[in-house]
Amino acid sequence: MSPAETKRSPAPPLRRSRNLTPAADSTQPKTETTLAAAIARRPPAMPRVTVRPAAAPATGAQQVFKQCLDSPPASSEGVKRGATQQTPPAPARPDAATVYQIWVNGKVVMELPSSEEAAPIAQRLTAVLGSPGFSVDQLRLVLVEGEPGVALGDVKSNAKSGDRSNEPNERLAASGGDRLLFRVDRALANRLNRTADLVAIDWLNNLRVALGEAPLSLMEAQADLYSLTQTSRNLGGITSWYGPGFHNRLTANGERFNQYALTAAHPKLPFNTYLRVTNVRSGESVIVRINDRGPYVGQRSLDLSRQAARCIGSEKPGVVRYEAVILEPQTTVQ
C-alpha cells in the first residue's frame, strides 16, 4: 500500500441488492461492466449427459488403464504349466451397431449393449451431477451383493440374495436407492466381454476425467472397491503367469478361470486372499485375488493371470522376481 493510500478514509461498505452492480472505473464502458457482473453471478454450467448409438469404436472410453487392461492378442503364448497350450480367441468388443455410449461433457464415459440399459444410467447421472453441492469425490466404488458399482458414498445392499432382475431399472434400483448410480452384474459384464470390476473401475475413472478430475490408479480403485488395507505379512519369490489352455477351466476353488481377470494361483494361501504384487525389476504393482492352486514348476511360488502379468510388465519375460503384501478387506457387503 502506498503512503497516499494510507491517508484515505475507509470507504463505506456497499449494500448488496438485486439492482446494484459493482462500481466501475469511469474509463470502462458500462456495457462491459454489466456483462462482467452478469457472468460472475451466473451459476456454473450443469454437466451435459447424453446417450448416443455408436457409429464407430470409441476412442475416448476405457483408456485409463489401456496398456494394462486391454485384452491381449490371441496370438501371444503363455508360460507353460505342464499342459498343452491352446490359445482361445481374445474377447471381442460388441458390434458398434449394438453399443450405446453415455457422454458427459463431450467425453465417452460408458458403453452399453442397449439404449434400455443406457437411458436409466444417464438419467441418474443427470440428476446427481446437477444436484447442489455435488462433488466428484462423493463418487465411490461399492459392492452390492458382490457386484461392483458406483454410488454416492457407501451403499449397503437391502435386496435379497439371488435377486437378479432382467429389467435394467429394477437391477439398478434393487439396492441403495437414488444413491446407487449403477452396478455391473455378471450378465452385463459378459455381454461387454470384460470383467465386472474392471468395467466399474473404468467407468468411474472415465466419469472423473469428464468432470475434470484425475483418474484413480488401478490399485487405488481396487483397494477402494474391496475396502482393502495393508497387513504386515509379506512374501516373495518367482512368479510366472498362465492363461491360454486354462481359460474357462475350473480353478481349485470352483470358479471358471478367466485369464482377463486379476487373479492368481498360490500353493497354500487361503482362497480369496488379496495380494499386492510388485515386479521387483520394474516396480509395477497390481492387486490380485487368490482363486487357484499352483504353480508346481521349479522354484516358482505364484502364478498370475495373463492380465495381472500385463499390469506388472511380466507378460513378455514370462518369469520375474516379485514381492507381495497380503491385504485384508475391512468390510463385506452381503
Residue scoring higher pLDDT (54 or 72): 54
Angle between helices 196-210 and 218-226 (to 10 degrees): 120
Rounded Cα distance, 143 and 164, in Å: 15
Mean pLDDT of the chain: 77
- Report which DSSP code applies to 200: H
pLDDT at residue 248 is higher than 50:
yes
Q: Assess contact for 241 and 318: CB atoms under 8 A.
A: yes
The residue-averaged pLDDT of 75-81 equals 47
CA distances from 171 to 29, 53, 298, 334 (A): 58, 22, 47, 16
pLDDT at residue 159 is higher than 70:
no
**Residues 15-25: tens digit of each pLDDT:** 444 444 444 45
Rounded Cα distance, 248 and 243, in Å: 9
CATH no. of 227-329: 2.40.40.10
Q: What does the pLDDT read at residue 74? A: 39
Q: What does the pLDDT read at residue 190? A: 87
The angle formed by the CA atoms of residues 43, 47 and 48, to the nearest 5 degrees, is 125
pLDDT at residue 43 is higher than 50:
no
Domain with CATH 2.40.40.10 in the chain: 227-329
